[in-house]
Structure 1
Amino acid sequence: MTNPAQCSRYEESRDKALELFALKGFGQVSMRELAAHLGLTAGSLYHHFPSKQHLLFDLIEELHEELLATLTLGSKRLRATENPLGVLIRAHWNLHRERPLQFRLAERDLCCLTDTQQQQIINLREQYERQLLQLIAPHTTLGGMQLKAAGHAIANLVNHLPGWLEDCPLPDSQRLALMENLVVGAIERTLLACGISSAA
C-alpha cells in the first residue's frame, strides 16, 4: 500500500525539480544541484529518480496526458454546445494557467530526452493532435499529411497563445477573449484552406 506521506514528498520533489528546470534549463542543472535544491543527498535522489531524463520525461508525459484528458472529458460537452471551439480554448487556457512551467519545459527541453522517450512523447502529441482536430472538425474526410499538418498547427496555436499573452497588460477576461478571437479566426482560416468544415 502506498504511503500518502511518501506520495506527498514525491510530488513536492517533482514540483521543486520542475521549478528549477524551468528557471535554469534542464541541461544546465546537474544531479548534484538538483539534489541540493530538493534537500536530498545524491544517493537519495537516485532512489527517487533513476536519472534526470526519467524525471523530465515524467513531467512532459504528464502534461500530454492532461491535454488528452481535457479532450476526452470535454468531448460530451463539446458535442452538446454550439461553440465547441470556445470550450476547447477555455480548457486549454485553464490548463496553461495551472501548469505554465510544464508547458515551457515541454516546448524547450524535449530534445534533452533519450530518442526512445522523445518518440513516446511524439506519439502522445500526435494522438492529441488527431483527437483535437476530430473534435473541431468531426466530418472531415481528409487524411494524410495535410490533415496532420492542420492538427499540428492548431494544437500549437492553442497551446502557445496563453504564454504569448501572459505579459499582455490586460485583465484575464480580456486576454482570454483576445485568445478566443485569435484562435477561432486562425483555425477557421486554416480549416478552410485545407477544405475542412469546422464544428464551430
Structure 2
Amino acid sequence: MHIFTLTADEVDDLLYFTRVNEAQDLHQTITELSQKYNCEARYILEKCIDPDTGNSVLHYCSANGLAELLQNLLSQLKAGELNGKASDCVPLINRQNQQGNSPLHWAAYNGHMAVVKSLVDAGADMWVKNGAGHLAVFEAERADKSEVVQYLLEVGGRAVEQTGREGAATAEDEAEVQAEAGGVGNGAAKLEAEADGGVDVEMEDAGSSD
C-alpha cells in the first residue's frame, strides 16, 4: 500500500500541465514525483485529485479531447499491473467529480469520439449516472453529439448481449439508455435537461485557465 499525499502545488501542477496539454512537462513531473514518493507513476495519477472539484487528470483530458495524452496516461495507469489485468486503473477511469460526472460524461458531452472510445476500451462504465441522474449518453444527446450517442447505444447493446456473466448490463439498462437518448437528434433529452437545470459538464474551456 502506498500511503502518501501530494501537496496542493503538486496537484495543481499535474492538473495544469494536463489541461494545457503540456505532455513533456507532465511526464517529467510524474517521473519526479514517482522518485520522490518511491512509487509507480500510476499511484501519482491516482492521488492527483482536485480537492475542490474532485476532478482528475482524466477529467481534463476528456473535457478537452486530448486523445493522445489520454492514451499515454492510461498506459501509465496500466503499467506494472499483474498478469496484464487492467482492473486497477478502472476506479480512476470511473471516478466521479463533485457533480457526479465521470471522464466519460465530459467526453460524451463535448463530442470527443476518440476519447470516448479510449475510455470505453479501458473499462469506463457507461451505466454510471451523474449527480443529475444522467448517463453519459444523455449528456451527449443534450449537446447534440449524435455520433457519440450512436456509438454508446451500440456499445450498450453489445453489453446487454453479454448478460449472464457477473456485472453484465441488463435489458433494463439498454432500455434506460434508449430512453435517456430520446432518439438521436430529436432534442427531447436536451429539453428535459433544460427543464431540470441540467448539470455542469460544460468544459470546452477547461484549458483556458491557469
Question: TM-score with structure 2 length normalisation?
Answer: 0.29
Higher helix share: 1
Structure having the higher Rg: 1
User: Which of 1 and 2 has higher RCO (CA within 8 Å, sep 6+)?
Assistant: 1
